[in-house]
Each structure stands twice: as structure tokens, then as C-alpha cells.
Structure 1
Amino acid sequence: MKCGIYCITNEKNGRVYVGQSRNIPVRWSAHRRACDADTSMIAKAIKKHGLENFRFKVLEPCQPHMLDERERHYIKKLQSMYNQNGYNIESGGNTGEKISPLISQRKRGKNNPMYGKKVGAKTRRAMSLSSRGSNNKLTEPEVRDVKTLLLDGAGCSELAERYSVSYHAIHKIMQVKNWEWVLPELNAALINLTDDEKKKRDAEIKELWEKGKYAAEIARMVNCSEGTVKRVVGTSRLKEAKERYQNMIDDYENGLSRDAIQERYGVRRSAVNRALQGIDQRRRAERAAVWVGMRRRGVTVQTIAAMYGVNKGTVTEHTKGRWRE
């Protein structure tokens, strides 16, 4: 089986990296290349010590749906976090995420033990990575409260505001990607809670899609990526929506009113307006070009306005300065 959990061991110092992949041979090839563009800790270590000093081993083949759970298990078992004995900067099950910016010190000014000291970029990054997986804006007692409150029905946004941290800091706790060692007996329930949250999010995405919202709009509204929206609605439905929009355009070009189009397709007016936006812009441009030509032939603004049933300001706005060129 190509899918599973693997481990890379630095034989010079014993430090390890635990990873997951749906195609382990391909992933190992990527690690071996360790190109300059890769800034991960394991890539830097390979470039520093040489590939010949690293040993690759498959720890456990498993099904895709088990990857996150098994990765967390082996990271904890082998103590492969950066501030322990390894190169992992997340506590597992966190594929596709980027390294966050340097974590701010909670204490500032003279209360900060680093006050007045100059720290190089390399040291600052090491400080940030060493606290990864244990968000230093939260204390362990606070995380205990957060986990309990999440299971009691509190929302991530509510808790983020209460503890003055980001939404993602709380959400990672709920996903058991950080602070997994605090009240571990609650982790399974929290993961189930995450699954329920995803189902609610997906239902909301589908509802917004049916109302005619664009993928980018939906992504902003439900706090996810456009890719997530497209996966939820399915590529076939995206194709269907494009065809529906084209049919709306064809009907409009053939003289059907916006009200009639809205009734025919059973969508909101905003969806109709969005589909016809390009046509309206093209028609306005074509009409403005005609008006410019008429002004060049000596037709007055007042006459043009009367002919097209618009006010004189509209004609002036679209022809001012252009008809003298």
C-alpha cells in the first residue's frame, strides 16, 4: 500500500521527522530532492547534513481516512516535535498548512525578559518554532476550559474573542492539532465535533450555492478556501451553473426580461444580475460609442437623451471629452 505514515531519521543526531502521504514513494522522492524553495525544517536538515545521513522508513500503511490520527500517534510516540527530538513543527493531522508568522511574545516592554536585547532572525524563528503546537497566548488551564466549553456548545469565534486569540488558534484545538496532550480523554469527542461542524459548513455552502452565490463569496462567508467550496458543490455542479448562466444570457439576448428569467430559473435577482453583468457592460459601451458618433455629427445632448429615454447627465457622462477627439 502506498498510503501511510513514514519516518525520516537523521543518523548523525538521532532527530526524526514523521509525515503522512497518500503516495509515500512520491513523497520520499520530494524529500530527497530537498530543493532550495523548500523551507521546511526537514528539508533544511537534509541540505545541511547530506541525504546519505538520513534513513527513510515506513512506519505504518493505512487508509486515507486514518492518516491524521496515525500521524498524531507517531509524532507523540517518537517525540518528533521541533522542541523535543525532531523536525515536526505541528502535532500532526495538519496537512497543507503554511508555517505561521513569528508568534508574538505575550509580555511586552520591561516585563519581557528579552527587553532591550537584540535577537537575530535565525534565533527569532527558532523561538517561534519551539513554541509551535502550544500556542503561547493560551495557558494550559485556559486550554482545559476551551476544550470543555467547545464540548458544551461554545463556538470558536466566541472563545477566540473571550481569550483574545485568533479563530484559528481555537479551531486547531478543536481539531486536536494543537494542545492534544491537555485533557486527552476529550480528544475523540472534539474530533467528532469537528466532523459535525464540517457537515454544517458543507450544508451552508450548498445552500449559498443554490442561492446563486459565487465560490469566492461563499468562501469569505463561511471562512474556507474556494477549493473547499468547489469540492463541496462538485465540478459537475460548477459546470451546470456555467451552463445555466449562459442560458440566462441567451434568454436575455432574445428579449426575455430579468423578472421572467428569475422566475424561469428559480434563482435570486442577484444571480440574474450577476449572469447578465457582462452584457450590460457591453451594451453600455456600445451605446456610449453611438452617442459619441451622434455628438460628432452635431446632435445635441438634449436630443440624444430624449431619443434614448435617459437624462442629459447620463449622456454627458458617457460622451464628455470623447466626441471632440
Structure 2
Amino acid sequence: MELCGIYMILNLINNKIYIGSSINIKKRWQAHKSYLNINQHSNRYLQNAWNKYGEENFKFKVIDNFIDQSLILLREQYWIDYFQSADEECGYNISPTAGNLMGFKHSDETKRKISTRMKGKEKTSEHLANISNSLKGRKMSKEVKEKLLKANIGKKHTKEHREKISKHHYGKKLSEAHKEVLVNSRKKFTKETVLEIREKVFSGARVKDLMIEYDCSKQTILRIKKMETYLEVWESNSFKDNVDLEVEVDKATRRVKLTHNQVVEIFTEVSRDKGKIEFYAQKFGVSTNTIYNIISGRTWYDITSSLNTDKNSIRRDNSSGITGVKRQEREGRKIKWIARLTYNKKQYAKAFNTEEEAIEYRKYMELERDKGNL
């Protein structure tokens, strides 16, 4: 409940007093301190004393409180007379008669005049520092936050305002401590939850269902799957102990890097049994597409090309490094090099016995295409 009553501001050095009243004493004291700290208080006597003696030499005290707001001016007048606070030798009150702005509101015209008068005025660095200090530690209530949110819904910054914000922040660099605070503020999952999400992804759970269950975006789920976020989880020893082989994460791309032995194991085992694709994807922390690319020869060809497979080995289309030229090998047939070019929804393809012939044909077709002969 808001405290209604009479308060005093006492100067501990010379014992001079300011008497005031409010239907919300706590809020009024905060307003007094705010204006005094930025040198903008309406009472020049109190402001000058505050500047001279400092905040630490003033004491705020409630001297009378009651429920009936109709008594507030009578009680304030009583205490002004009692302490003689309107006498410049005894206090800081400007007027000997009690009065306040309870329930008063400026007209739109007055507000406009005040706004016009204040525009263009630049605050000094000291003034800004005082404002900052007066606001430190102050926390807004839930009701105030909701009011601010509703008031700003639908509002958009003007182009001029955006340029000012950009200019203000241009060239500023965040400290490491600030960066850490920002990163941690965006993280809402514990280590156990992250591991749980990743396990469900590789167990076949739909990303859409996980988004709803954990109240997060699709991007968050996919980044957890690829180990591109929550790096402290993947780098911890407890995670490494839970996998059969140590997983190395590329610091530049934040993606899993497979070792030579891991690629050999994937190619050998999955080529024999495609049912192990999901198992190896989860084991090494990669996608099923990565496994498919390894066994089809699209990636890690420098390792897989030297491996011998049995009769159940699958067809491999191995790139020569030249776009549109691929090596094709089938069981029981000669190796062929295929040169392909797609243009105007038509595909031109031809088989050659050597890679050099295929590359030359591909280059020839590109020239014909550029000349408009195709």
C-alpha cells in the first residue's frame, strides 16, 4: 500500500529542514533525489544546499502518515509552522503556506511549450553522469514494464532517429565481460537439456515438435544438432566420455571434423549395411547427408578412393574436381569419365575413357554455349 503523509529532508550539517507532503511518499523522495542529483530541482535553496554539502549529509524522514488524503494540506501546514521551515534561518521551504500539485496536470499547450523550450539543449557530461547514477539500482515493477511495452507496440523509429543511434554506437567495441553477459543472457538451456535435445534429434524426433516442446526456434535446434552453439557442452570431458570416439570441433566453422580412421570406419561399415547410417551420424555428431556423401564418394574422396569394397559396394560417382566432369564406376564394367552440361533445360552428356578427354569436351561445350550455338 502506498504511504501517504508528511516528510522532512534534514540537513545534518546545519539542521535546516524542508517539509513536504505526498500521497506516495516513496515515489516523491525518489523524484526529489533524481532532480537534486541532476541539478534540476525546483527549490533553489534546497538545490544549492545539496550541491554544497552533498547527498550524504541529508536525511529523509517520514514524520506524519495517515489514510485520509483530505487532511494532507492541513497536516503539512502544521509541520511547516512547527519547524518554521519557511524561515530561511531554519529551513528550505519557499512558501510559508502549504500547497502541492496533487492531481494537477499540464495542459497540452503547456506541454508543447516545455517541449519546445527543452529541444536542442545539450546536457553536460557531469549532468549525464548524475542522471546515470540516480537511476542505478532502480528496478521497474512488472506493471510499469507492461505499460511501457503497450505504449511502444507498433512504434517505429524514424530514419533520422535510426541514423542517430547508428552514429552513437559506431566504432564502439564491447568488452569481453559485456560479450559474455550478452551470450549468457541468450542461453536458456542447461547442459542436460542440450544433450537431451540432440539425442531426440538423432532418435528421429521432428524438429517442429522439439520447437514446441522446448519453446525455441528451428535454428536453435539445428545448431545444437551440429554442435554450433553451447560449445562448453561439447568441449566438456563429460560429453567426450559419452561418445565412442573423440569428436573434434573446428574452431573456425564450429563443425565436427572427422578423422581419417572415422571416415574409413563409416565408408567400410555403411557400404555393407545402409541401416547403420543413423547410428554413425549420431556416433560422430554429423548429419545423415554427411554419411551419404562419404559412401557415395562426394566427400573425402582422397580416403575412400583407395578403399576396396566387396560385391555389395554401392555405385560411386566421384568428381574429378572439374564441375560437370565425373568418374563413373559400375560393377563389372570399365571405368568411364562422363562430361555433362545442362543448358536451356537440355542436358548434353558424353562418356570418355580418360579424364583429359572428358575435360576437353566439357570446355568445348562451354565455348559453344557462350557463342550461342547450343
Does TM, normalized by the shorter one, top 0.5? no
TM-score, normalization by structure 2: 0.26
TM-score, normalization by structure 1: 0.29
* Greater C-alpha radius of gyration: 2
Higher helix share: 1
Higher strand share: 2
Q: Which has the higher contact order (CA 8 A, sep 6+)?
A: 1
